[in-house]
């Protein structure tokens, strides 16, 4: 177990030390961890058991630089960024952040304030790529029997969940808060979590992995709605099928009525689907929600056909029905009584089914951690917290989480979101208040930090900060897809 001593606390007669890293204020016995498993009593000292994580990248150079008049021959050192992972917290925030690190970047003195925030006001937004119906909007989402969130508005090809939040963490029974905190912690650290939706399905969620719905792993995110599929593939169906119906829970497309079919001068087929007609060739509510064709509750696509007009349809009419992922497809030919008779899908049409599947992106779960950096956390940066907020909104101060870029919401406060898959492994912790603990870093020019009334007496150089931790520093390669937080000019 790696260890980092964060402070020295006098032991009482019974060998206990008091941890002040969160509001629980654990009294910890020698050799034991506190309730969060993040701090322990080692030799009478309160010790952070996880290492400080420092991201490292090599500078960008021309190959080998031999013969370059600009190269002095000095050893080129890697650039380092101290993340908040393993940094410790500032609770109860009357004290400066654990690390206020200065460094020089492109001749400019830069500074990064590094901390782990304790977030009682936090949640996760989950995007689940599937056409399957997971449950009604606003339905409760449960984990281990406890309500931890709800279904929110579906987006294009994805079902969306909103989990956590202060109401579930602190506003219900103690077990509800504990289960909610554990579920969010697991999701943010990349572990799988099984949830159930009231009136809906059971889903296994894991960031960066395909969702598992009722035991079945999803493979594809739909290519688009039924109407969009018409625009993409109408020309490829033209001449090989007389009518194509793309079955979709949201917008079912009918080729001969759709503008795409009209543009190709396709002959009307006289096949009317159920549901509410929106614009030509676009139908809403053709069936109920479910895990059948195109996210509907039908297993036989012919169920959505309301009638076939004998004045327009003809014997031998070739009807193709397909879902928005291409996972379901069927071929029919109308007999003399204008009844659809199943048949084998012709090769040119089967090729389009394959093309639909090819255009479907892999189904994944996306987990975004969302939290508000409140006044107390900001006081670890400056004695006048509103100045930090203003600096962030004016883009003078950059915000990262474990070195990963975040999205800052407009409006008051510092409310941010971050994709957990872009962060270092196991970047999140918890405290049993309950709340999540997440890394956060604020990077800005040293002069700007001085002007905002920052804790300048606690500024320490990068090398000195790392040296002070001894062997309790873990270096990791910088993710080159991330912008460098100090906004270094690329050479």
Write down the pTM of the prediction: 0.88
Q: What pLDDT was estimated at residue 307?
A: 96
Label the pairing between strands 243-247 and 318-323: parallel
465 confidence band (pLDDT: 50, 70, 90): confident
Q: Please indicate, yes or no, whether residues 238 and 346 belong to a single structural domain of this protein.
A: yes
Structural domain count, the chain? 4
**Would you say the C-alpha torsion 344, 345, 351, 357 has a positive or negative sign?**
negative
pLDDT at residue 78, as a whole number: 73
What CA–CA distances, in Å, run from 332 to 56, 134, 283, 344?
Answer: 61, 31, 21, 8
Pair of tokens at residue 488:
């270094």
- The reported pLDDT for the residue numbered 162 is 98
- What tens digit of pLDDT does each residue of 120-138 get? 899 999 999 998 899 999 9
Backbone angles phi, psi at 449, to 5 degrees: -65, -40
Give domain status of residue 41, yes or no: yes
405 burial class (0-12, 13-18, 19+ CB within 10 angstroms)?
A: middle
Segment 290-318 shows an average pLDDT of 96
Q: Please report where in the chains the tokens 């950059």 appear, as a residue.
A: 398
Q: Which two tokens stand for residue 99?
A: 């690390």
Residue 86 lies in a domain: yes
More confident residue, 32 or 325: 325
CA distances from 461 to 101, 107, 113, 397 (A): 5, 15, 12, 19
Does residue 105 sit in the same domain as residue 64? yes
Q: Has residue 19 been placed in a domain?
A: yes
Question: Rounded CA gap, 291 and 274, in Å?
Answer: 18
Over residues 396-434, the pLDDT tens digits come to 999 999 999 999 999 999 999 999 999 999 999 998 889
Q: How many helices (H) and strands (E) does the chain have?
A: 9, 35
The verdict on 164 and 74 lying in the same domain is no
Q: Percentage of the chain surpassing pLDDT 70?
A: 91
The reply to whether 309 and 385 lie within a common domain is: no
Which segment of 86-95, 216-225, 361-370 scores lowest on mean pLDDT? 86-95
- Domain membership flag for residue 488: no
Co-location of 349 and 287 in the same domain: yes
pLDDT at 442 over 90: yes
* Residue 245 belongs to a domain: yes
Query: Is the domain of 238 the same as that of 315?
Result: yes
Of 319, 354, 389, which closes a domain? 354
The pLDDT value given to residue 62: 45
Same domain, 383 and 429: yes
How are beta strands 460-461 and 99-105 bridged, if at all?
parallel
| Stretch 457-486: mean pLDDT | 89
Same-domain status, 350 and 240: yes
Mapping DSSP to helix (H, G, I), strand (E, B) and coil, where does residue 414 land? Answer: strand
Instruction: Report the pLDDT value the prediction gives residue 91, as an integer from 0 to 100.
Output: 72
End position of a domain, from candidates 198, 219, 240: 219
Judge whether 362 lies within some domain.
Answer: no
Residues 247 and 349 in one domain: yes
Are 172 and 97 contained in the same domain?
no
d(CA 382, CA 111): 13
Give a yes or no: residue 130 inside a domain.
yes
- Per-residue pLDDT of 162-178, as tens digits, reads 999 999 999 889 999 99
Answer for the pair 370, 124: CB distance below 8 angstroms, yes or no: yes
Mean pLDDT of 342-346: 98
**pLDDT above 70: residue 9:** no
Q: Last residue of some domain: 298, 321, 354?
A: 354
In SS3 terms, 3-58 reads as CEEEEECCCCCCCCEECCCCCCCCEECECCECCCCCEEEECCEEEECCCEEEEEEC
CA distances from 93 to 49, 363, 374 (A): 21, 42, 11
Instruction: Specify if 284 maps to a domain.
Output: yes
Q: Are residues 278 and 190 both part of a single domain?
A: no
Name the residue range of residue 436's domain.
55-120+374-477
Quick check: 486 and 112 in contact, CB under 8 A?
yes
Query: For the chain, how are helix, strand and coil distributed in percent, rounded to 5?
Result: 20, 35, 45
Which single residue is written with the structure tokens 């701090």? Answer: 39
Q: What is the DSSP letter of 278?
A: -
State whether 334 and 417 are in the same domain: no
Phi first, then psi: give them for residue 328, nearest 5 degrees: -120, 130
């Amino acid at each position: 177990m790696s260890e980092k001593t964060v402070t020295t606390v006098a032991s009482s007669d019974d060998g206990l030390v008091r941890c002040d890293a969160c509001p629980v204020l654990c009294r910890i016995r020698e050799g034991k961890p506190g309730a969060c498993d993040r701090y322990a009593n080692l030799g009478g000292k309160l010790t952070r058991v996880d290492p400080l994580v420092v991201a490292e990248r090599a500078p960008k150079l021309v190959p080998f630089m031999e013969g370059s008049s600009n190269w002095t021959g000095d050893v080129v050192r890697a650039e380092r960024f101290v993340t908040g992972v393993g940094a410790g917290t500032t609770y109860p925030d009357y004290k400066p952040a654990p690390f206020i690190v200065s460094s020089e970047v492109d001749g400019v003195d830069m500074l990064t304030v590094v901390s782990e925030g304790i977030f009682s006001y936090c949640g996760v937004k989950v995007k689940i790529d599937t056409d399957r119906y997971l449950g009604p909007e606003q339905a409760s989402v449960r984990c281990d029997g406890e309500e931890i969130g709800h279904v929110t508005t579906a987006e294009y090809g994805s079902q969306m969940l909103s989990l956590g939040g202060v109401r579930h963490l602190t506003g219900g029974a103690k077990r509800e808060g504990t289960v909610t905190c554990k579920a969010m912690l697991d999701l943010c650290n990349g572990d799988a979590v099984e949830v159930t939706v009231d009136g809906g399905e059971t889903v296994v969620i894991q960031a960066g992995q395909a969702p598992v719905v009722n035991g079945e792993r999803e493979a594809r995110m739909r290519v688009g709605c039924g109407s969009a599929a018409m625009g993409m593939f109408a020309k490829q169906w033209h001449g090989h099928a007389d009518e194509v119906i793309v079955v979709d829970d949201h917008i079912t497309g009918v080729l001969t009525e759709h503008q795409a079919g009209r543009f190709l001068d396709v002959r009307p087929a006289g096949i009317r689907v159920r549901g509410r007609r929106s614009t030509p060739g676009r139908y809403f509510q053709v069936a109920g929600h479910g895990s059948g064709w195109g996210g509907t509750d039908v297993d036989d696509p012919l169920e959505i056909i309301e009638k076939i007009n004998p004045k327009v349809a003809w014997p031998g009419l070739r009807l193709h029905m397909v879902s928005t992922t291409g996972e379901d497809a069927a071929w029919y030919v109308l007999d003399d009584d204008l009844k659809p008779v199943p048949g084998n899908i012709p090769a040119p049409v089967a090729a389009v089914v394959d093309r639909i599947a090819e255009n479907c992106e892999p189904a994944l779960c996306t987990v975004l951690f969302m939290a508000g950096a409140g006044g107390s956390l900001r006081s670890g940066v400056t004695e006048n917290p509103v100045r930090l907020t203003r600096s962030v909104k004016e883009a003078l101060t950059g915000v990262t989480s474990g070195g990963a870029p975040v999205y800052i919401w407009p409006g008051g406060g510092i409310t941010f979101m971050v994709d957990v898959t872009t962060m270092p492994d196991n970047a999140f912790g918890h405290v049993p208040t309950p709340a999540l603990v997440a890394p956060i870093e604020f990077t800005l020019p040293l002069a700007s930090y001085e002007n905002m009334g920052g804790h300048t007496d606690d500024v320490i150089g990068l090398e000195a900060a790392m040296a002070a931790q001894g062997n309790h520093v873990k270096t990791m390669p910088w993710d080159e897809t991330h912008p460098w937080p100090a906004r270094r000019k690329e050479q």
